Amino acid sequence: MKMIAASIMCADSLHLADELRALEQANVKMLHCDVMDGVFVKNAAMGAYVLQDIKNNTDMLLDIHLATVNPDKFVDLYAAIKPAYMSFHVEASPDVDATINHIRELGIKPSIAISPDTEIEQIYPFLEKVDMVLMMTVNPGFAGQKFQHHVLEKIKKLQKELESHTNKPLIEVDGNIFEETVRLLEPIGADVYVVGTAALFNDKAGSYTEKLAPLREIIQER
């Protein structure tokens, strides 16, 4: 599966209903929803009531990224929204296996997130148990950061490791994703591209369909 996911945190929060319609018209299939607690990252974002309103007003899949400490607490808080995927950080969970199981028991596909400076080997023990790996290409917390090119080598190492696994989780990339960085990521096997201010939610001319067209030509979304 190749897919673009729109980072809804970066959308116009005063006109979310209009933004949802525009994204649907652009044939976006999934919304990436950053939940930040102000502790794990120095920012706070996207309460459960906001995401519930979004869920109630679109058929797009939700992909919730918990950039939080105590992820199990937030899993329970956001489970009622029924997202397709829920990611938590390997750096934040005191019991990664238990958090994965917790998410799956709630009928949600578990995903494990890893920050740019964390060694990729930390997630190897869990690759058979998750449906997706979220590779952060910037530090979680704020949009507009520079793409960290060393993450490309981490993705290559991950792909090599997955050759010996029967489970093949999707690889999601998030952080300054636009045409230039997609050209770097596509050859090494990324699957889900989270787009925010760099490629989509900005004041450049064009509809969302037009803005996403160059990315879709590269990744052949399907």
Active site residues: 34, 174
Q: What stretch of H or E contains 193?
A: strand 192-195
Query: Do residues 93 and 86 make contact, with C-beta atoms less than 8 angstroms apart?
Result: no
Distance of CA 77 to the CA centre of its chain: 19
Q: How far apart are CA 91 and CA 69, in angstroms?
A: 9
Q: How many CA atoms lie within 13 A of 181 on its CB side?
A: 24
Q: How far apart are CA 161 and CA 173, in angstroms?
A: 17
Residues 6 or more apart whose Cβ sits within 8 Å of residue 157: 120
Tokens 């939080």: give the residue.
Answer: 68
Residues 6 or more apart whose Cβ sits within 8 Å of residue 151: 116, 135, 136, 137, 173
Backbone angles phi, psi at 113, to 5 degrees: -105, 150
